[in-house]
Structure 1
Amino acid sequence: MSEKKQHYDSLVERVNDWLGQAAPAEMKSIEQWVEKAEQLLDAAAQVSVTEYQLSIDSFKRDLLGFYHSYQHDAQHSTYLANLQEGMWHHLANLTDQTQIEWAEFVADVEHDGVYKTGDVIGFGQLVCMQCRHVIDICHATEVTDCPKCGHNRFIRQAFEHNI
């Protein structure tokens, strides 16, 4: 028996074992996948090596297009934003906060201690002047409206040294 045949028989046996353990509700979905796989295998048997390579190249281009089209979604992902903020928070713990606070002090004097939507802040805590909601800022970012009440004016407070 050829090595390919043994590999195929082994694969079939593993799939049969897996199907035996599958729940009845999963069987319909599995049957649809098997039908699709059979169609693909039949089509693949009729494809030349050149056509196969063209298909692979097209798939790679499509995958790259998919990647680029979802970059916008990734940039607006809550999970990724939280991950990024967490990294900035840890980096802030490692920095010399005294130097950063002096730089922010100068900005506070220029802003008279009040920041509004659209201003840029580098480090500290913004406290909403309307609802007192606190927003931690660990890196340079543009101030946005209060996520709690929508107000647009804030007072900046320094981080405590035990961030």
Structure 2
Amino acid sequence: MTDSDEHKQKELHGYEQMLERLRERFGETTGDALKAVREQAIELGELTREQAERVAEALQRDLEDAAEYVARERGTYADWLHMDLQLVEHWIWDRFSSVADQTRLQWMDLQRELTAASRYHTGEITGPGALVCRECGEVLHFARAGHIPPCPRCHGTRFERASRQQNHQS
């Protein structure tokens, strides 16, 4: 395994660890809890400060995207993930949905407008679900947290969360 592969694996593990810790801090606001779990990952030596910042940004983006989708579409987190729940490991689903639900409540309170169309880029970490290439429409599926690769079809680097219709066409 190369240093780059080890670095990516460490970030993916950090994403899952930080998501679990966010779930444990359910009553706190997501922003405060995210800062606390980011610092905890650094203090425990699980991630460098730079890695923890990247992971925290990815978690924040994924949670806000899920909350926005559920509020806008009146859908469920399963719809947002665009896959059967059996394909998602039970533990990650349980953790992600509970944290995302808290984020959804905060989302509704703050009524923030988010632009999800250009929020996902090659090299970033994303949670489970499907992303669509903004250049050619290719759908990439993630059963768990992963780094976003360039589009396998056109090598594009910008993605958006797939709609249910886009996911079924792939």
| Common fold by TM > 0.5 | no
Could you say which TM-score interval applies, normalised by the shorter chain?
0.3 to 0.5
> What TM-score, normalized to structure 1?
0.33
Structure with the greater relative contact order (CA < 8 A, sep ≥ 6): 1 or 2? Answer: 2
- Greater C-alpha radius of gyration: 1
> What TM-score, normalized to structure 2?
0.32
Bigger share in helix: 1
